[in-house]
Structure 1
Amino acid sequence: MKTLAKLLMLVILFSSFSCRDTKKEEAETKAKLEVIDDVEQKLDSVSNDIENKAEALEDAVKELDSI
């Protein structure tokens, strides 16, 4: 009976530590995903700016060619 109680205590102890680690890992993963999402949004906005400026340059070149 004592060994069963010890075994049960060990299982409870290990499960509590493993849950804590999982929560920490989930929090870290969430933080990393938020950083990745921010970088993707910035990349999209920069890409759109570049496309708009490229179109403006093409229009300017066409205007110069027509002169």
Structure 2
Amino acid sequence: MLIDSFLYSAMPDFLVEFINEPSLFEIFKLRYFLKGLFQRNIDLGLEEALREHLREPALKDTIHAF
């Protein structure tokens, strides 16, 4: 269940997509915002940063928030 795995995960993964290419500052700003919101360390990545052999399984398990 998503909630259980999120609550007990050591570091939840977030795959993000931006309309315009973000600056490094914007990526870090989002990471720290999510870290504060969920009160835990998070792993933040962009789709193009996924390794080729992990891309399809990761995208299959993706839950679109907004």
TM, length-normalised to structure 1:
0.26
Compare the two structures and name the one with the higher strand fraction: 2
Compare the two structures and name the one with the higher helix fraction: 1
> Max radius of gyration: which structure?
1
